[in-house]
Amino acid sequence: MTLHNKFENLFLNISSKAALSAFKFVGKKDKIAADKAAVDSMRNELNKIDIKGKIVIGEGELDEAPMLYIGENVGTNNGPELDIAVDPLEGTNFAANNLPGALSVIAVGEKKSLFSAPETYMKKISANVKEKNVIDLDFNIKKNIDNLAQYKNKTPENLTVCILERPRHKEIIDELKLLNVKIKLITDGDVSGALLVTNKKYNVDLFLGIGGGPEGVLAASALDAYNCFFQGQLLFDNENDKSRAKQMGVKDLTKKYDLNEIISGDSIFCATGITSGDLVSGIEIHNNEFISETLITHKATNLKKVIKIKQKI
């Protein structure tokens, strides 16, 4: 089964309106208010459409997220059963501080086709590679860099690696420096970080490191449409996280997931810019209209493009 192409505009509209809601709080130094505005808008718009939707990636568990929590049902309860993954405000700090790269993100798939990742860390790797065994989470940094350089017919010093700037990545960053690789450090927003491998214009060859598990699933939806390589492995800090993962259906806590295990069917992905970043431009407001830019992908229809739309506020 594939998703009907009518959903493309529906979900593009949902992420655009959530982006607009968050935009009202850009630069106001209040990431909680910005996030709440995006969440409220996205939930409200989802509940208008004729689907039996279930949130599989959301704002957290029921006890910590009053809306768009994991397991919440959305839609009118008429129409197809869909899995929905959301990050209404990816890059809360970006929005609060008026920095580049804040996005409103949603992905939708057929029922039981999106991996329901718990709110825990995930070790990730992505690249625009079509074959297996070029890069792999099980390989060390040097092997991944050497293999990728050979695959892309480049020298290691001409490869660019994108990684979150975090203390936990110090050893990886130090090793990349020793290998003389170009490094693109990002402070937040590892959905967009993982997607920079999709197009030569971003000049990123490899994304790796430890980030959020839910963000890994969202990125995988778009990477699937680009036929890119992605792997993820969940990491657990404590027994509570392990227990929660088991309740969500994760049987093997050490499993390394390939892309087709994270996104196992057709999916649509939308990321609308709130503030301008690498992937898309941010919201612009002119009189009583707003302009938004959305990266939208749909695997079944081979849709992979940035769409700019103008709407009444």
**pLDDT digit string, tens, across residues 239-290:** 988 988 898 889 899 999 999 999 999 999 999 999 999 999 999 999 999 9
102-120 pLDDT per residue, tens: 999 999 999 999 999 888 9
What pLDDT, on the 0 to 100 scale, is given for residue 80?
Answer: 95
Q: Are the C-beta atoms of 137 and 231 separated by less than 8 Å?
A: yes
Mark residue 200 as left, alpha or beta (left: phi above 0; alpha: psi -120 to 50; beta: remaining). alpha
Tokens describing residue 200: 């030569």
Number of Cα atoms under 13 Å in the Cβ half of residue 292:
27
SS3 11: helix
How far is 138 from 118, CA to CA, in rounded Å? 22
pLDDT of 21 above 80:
yes
**What number is the average pLDDT over the span 224-252?**
92
Q: Are the C-beta atoms of 19 and 272 separated by less than 8 Å?
A: yes
Domain ranges for the chain:
6-114+266-312, 121-262
| Short-list 188, 247, 259, CA closest to 221 | 259
**What number is the average pLDDT over the span 188-206?**
96
Residues 6+ apart with CB under 8 A from 51: 74, 75, 76, 78, 79, 80, 81, 82
Residue type for 194, please?
Answer: A
Q: Cα 301 to the chain's mean position, in Å?
A: 20
Q: Are the C-beta atoms of 38 and 46 separated by less than 8 Å?
A: no
- Percent share of the chain, pLDDT over 90: 90
| Lookup result for tokens 């935009």 | 23
Supply the mean pLDDT for the chain: 95
CATH number belonging to domain 121-262:
3.40.190.90
Main-chain phi, psi angles of 252, to 5 degrees: -105, 110
How far is 56 from 71, CA to CA, in rounded Å? 6
**What number is the average pLDDT over the span 194-221?**
97
How far is 216 from 136, CA to CA, in rounded Å? 15
**What number is the average pLDDT over the span 142-156?**
97
How far is 278 from 198, CA to CA, in rounded Å? 12
What pLDDT, on the 0 to 100 scale, is given for residue 1?
Answer: 67
For the four alpha carbons of 148, 151, 156 and 159, in that order, the dihedral sign comes to negative
Q: Are the C-beta atoms of 54 and 35 separated by less than 8 Å?
A: no
What pLDDT, on the 0 to 100 scale, is given for residue 66?
Answer: 83
β-bridge mates for residue 183, sequence order: 161
What pLDDT, on the 0 to 100 scale, is given for residue 64?
Answer: 74
| Short-list 220, 238, 216, 217, CA closest to 229 | 220
Main-chain phi, psi angles of 57, to 5 degrees: -130, 120
Residues 6+ apart with CB under 8 A from 228: 126, 127, 128, 129, 197, 198, 259
How far is 194 from 20, CA to CA, in rounded Å? 24
How far is 35 from 39, CA to CA, in rounded Å? 6
pLDDT of 301 above 90:
yes
302 or 64: whose pLDDT is higher? 302
Q: Comparing 6-114+266-312 with 121-262, is the CATH topology the same?
A: no
β-bridge mates for residue 312, sequence order: 289
| Short-list 43, 54, 115, CA closest to 79 | 54
CATH architecture of the region 6-114+266-312 = 2-Layer Sandwich (3.30)
How far is 159 from 142, CA to CA, in rounded Å? 12
